Structure 1
Amino acid sequence: MVMTILKKVRRTLLGVVAPPPPAVETQDDVFARSVRLGDQANAQRKWEAAAEHYRTALSIRPASPAIQVQFGHAQKEMGLLPQAEAAYRQAIAADRNNADGYLHLGHVLKLQGRRSDAIAAYKTATRLGIDSNPGRDARRELEALGETPPTALRIDIPPLLLEPEHARLVHAIHAKTWTVALEGVRGIANRDESPGLRLLEAQLLHVLGEMDEAEASYNASVGPSINRDAFAALKAFYRDCGREEEASGVVLRELAYRLDAGEPFDNLAPLLSELAALGRLDDAFSLAPRVFPSAARSADAAGRTAADVKRDRGAGIFPPAMAAAVAARLGEASAAFDVSGEAAQATLMRQEAEALAARP
Structure 2
Amino acid sequence: MVSPKAIWTVVAACVVLTLAVPTVAITMDEDTASDDVILEPTTSYASVTDEGELEVDLERLNERAVTTFDDVFTISVGDDAVSRVWIEDVEGLTFYENGNQHAELSESSPLEPEAGESARIGVSIDTHVDHAATETFTVHVEYEDDDGKSTGVVTLEDLEVEPETVETGENVTVNATYENVGERTKTTDAELTVDGTVVDSESVTVSPGDTETVHFERQLEWPGETELGVDGVEHETVLVDGPPVDVLEASVVDTELAAGETGEIEATVSNPTDKPVERTLELAVDGIVVDTQTVALESASEQTVTFEHEFDGEGTTPVAVSGVDAGTVTVDEPTFEIQNRELSATTMAALAPPMAASLLVIATVANRRWVKK
Please report the TM-score for the alignment, with normalisation by the length of structure 1. 0.19
User: For the pair shown, which has the larger CA radius of gyration, 1 or 2?
Assistant: 1
Whose helix proportion is higher, 1 or 2? 1
Determine which structure has greater relative contact order: mean sequence separation of CA pairs < 8 Å that are 6+ residues apart, divided by chain length. 2
Please report the TM-score for the alignment, with normalisation by the length of structure 2. 0.19
